[in-house]
């Protein structure tokens, strides 16, 4: 029953959600909205579990004095501090907002800005025209890189319009790029439909857990 009941749940509710797409009746719409809301509520608890897992990992590091356990204390203290400030003071609390604006925000932005350095390094070290397809990739990358910024327009302004970099970049984006992405998305649509059907019909059961759903 530990395996059967979840499979029955997934079948019945999955089937309902497919069927309601084709039936615009009020009662179906009501149930559809209710089930969607239930999913959102479950989602809230799921995200809390994520935070719980984080605490578990860092607590284990502190308890067993694993390398870097001092930093784990920083994590747990900042987590508890920020939660309490937000839960008690509310999300419009000045201290909560300032920790977000001057703590979380700059660090997250800076972490991602490091990618600029890494992509430059990758472009220098790894971007090689070894084969025909690699050369095509390289040429289209260079055309789009220069064509989409003002300098592309400036350096090719003297050429006929159809040879100007920004127009070539436009053509690449609106023609071969569309074809490529269209092929990918057609495949993605079929893939999502296939996986969804497999989940609803109980063919795909890996979500039941590693013990085979026992």
Partner 1 sequence: MAGNVEMGFWDKLMAIDRRWIYLTIGIVVFIPILLDMTLPVYVTAEVKAVYDRIDALPQGTVVMIPCEYDPATMAELRPMAHALFRHCFAKDLKIVSCALQIEGVTLVKDDLALIAAEYGKTYGVDYVYFGYKPFPAIVILNMGENFRKPFPRDYYGTELDSLPMMKGVVNYSSCALLVNINATSGADYWINYANGRYKAPLALGVTAVSATDYYTFLASGQIFGLMGGLKGAAEYEKLINHNAAATKAMNVQSIAHSVIVVFILIGNIAYFASRKRKKAI
Partner 2 sequence: MENPGIGIVLWYTLAAYLTLSIFSFLYKDNPFYRLAEHLIVGISAGYWIAILYHTSLKDLWLQPLAANFMALFAPGGSPLLEIGLIMTSIVPGLLGIMMFSRFFSTISWLSRWPIAFYLAITAGVALPLYLQSFTIRQMQACMIGLAGSPWEIFGDVIIIAGTICGLAYFYFSLEHKGVIGGLAKFGIWILMIGFGSTFGYTVMSRISLLIGRFDFLIEWYEIVINYAKS
Residues in the site for partner 1, rule: CB under 8 A? 21, 29, 32-33, 36-37, 39-40, 43-44, 46-47, 91-92, 97, 100-101, 104-106, 108-109, 111-113, 116-117, 119-121, 123-125, 127-129, 138, 141-142, 145-146, 148-151, 153-154, 166, 170, 173-174, 177-178, 181-182, 185
Q: Which of 170, 126, 175, 174 is nearest to 152 (CA)?
A: 170
CA separation for the pair 200, 14 (Å, rounded): 6
Task: Say whether residue 159 binds partner 2 (CB under 8 A).
Answer: no
Residue 168 touches which of partner 1, partner 2, none (Cβ within 5-8 Å per kind):
none
CA separation for the pair 199, 193 (Å, rounded): 10
Q: Which of 129, 141, 151, 154 binds partner 2 (CB under 8 A)?
A: 141
DSSP codes, 21-44: TT---HHHHHHHHHHHHHHHHHHH
Task: Say whether residue 142 binds partner 2 (CB under 8 A).
Answer: yes
Nearest-approach distance from CB 10 to partner 2, in angstroms: 4
Give Cα separations from 161 to 56, 79, 149, 191 (angstroms). 61, 57, 16, 41
Which residues 44-63 are close enough to bind partner 2 by CB under 8 A? 44-52, 54, 56
DSSP type of residue 162 = G
Residue 54 touches which of partner 2, partner 1, none (Cβ within 5-8 Å per kind):
partner 2
Helix (H, G, I), strand (E, B) or coil at 90: coil
Task: Say whether residue 165 binds partner 2 (CB under 8 A).
Answer: no
Residue 33 touches which of partner 2, partner 1, none (Cβ within 5-8 Å per kind):
partner 1
Instruction: Pick between residue 58 and residue 143 the one whose CB is nearest to partner 1.
Output: 143
Q: Which of 28, 86, 153, 167 binds partner 2 (CB under 8 A)?
A: 86
Q: Are 118 and 112 in contact (CB under 8 A)?
A: no
Q: Say if residue 27 is exposed, middle or buried (CB neighbours under 10 Å; 0-12, 13-18, 19+).
A: exposed
Which residues 98-117 are close enough to bind partner 2 by CB under 8 A? 98-117
Q: Are 2 and 204 in contact (CB under 8 A)?
A: no
CA separation for the pair 70, 210 (Å, rounded): 34
Instruction: Pick between residue 157 and residue 187 the one whose CB is nearest to partner 2.
Output: 187
Task: Say whether residue 90 binds partner 2 (CB under 8 A).
Answer: yes
């Amino acid at each position: 029953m530990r395996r059967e009941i979840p499979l029955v749940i997934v079948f019945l509710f999955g089937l309902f959600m497919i069927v309601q797409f084709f039936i615009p009746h009020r009662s179906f719409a009501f149930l559809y909205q209710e089930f969607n809301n239930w999913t959102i509520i479950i989602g809230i608890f799921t995200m809390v579990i994520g935070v719980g897992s984080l605490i578990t990992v860092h607590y284990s590091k502190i308890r067993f004095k694993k390398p870097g356990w001092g930093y784990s204390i920083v994590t747990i203290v900042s987590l508890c501090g920020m939660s309490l400030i937000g839960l008690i003071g509310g999300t419009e609390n000045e201290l909560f907002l300032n920790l977000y604006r001057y703590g979380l925000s700059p660090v997250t932005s800076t972490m991602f800005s490091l990618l600029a350095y890494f992509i430059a390094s990758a472009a220098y070290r790894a971007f090689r025209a070894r084969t025909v397809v690699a050369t095509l990739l390289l040429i289209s990358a260079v055309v789009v890189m220069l064509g989409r910024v003002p300098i592309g327009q400036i350096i090719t302004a003297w050429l006929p319009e159809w040879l100007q970099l920004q127009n070539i970049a436009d053509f690449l984006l609106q023609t071969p790029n569309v074809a490529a992405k269209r092929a990918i998305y057609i495949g993605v649509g079929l893939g999502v439909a296939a996986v969804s059907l497999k989940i609803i019909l109980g063919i795909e059961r890996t979500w039941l857990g590693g013990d085979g759903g026992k």
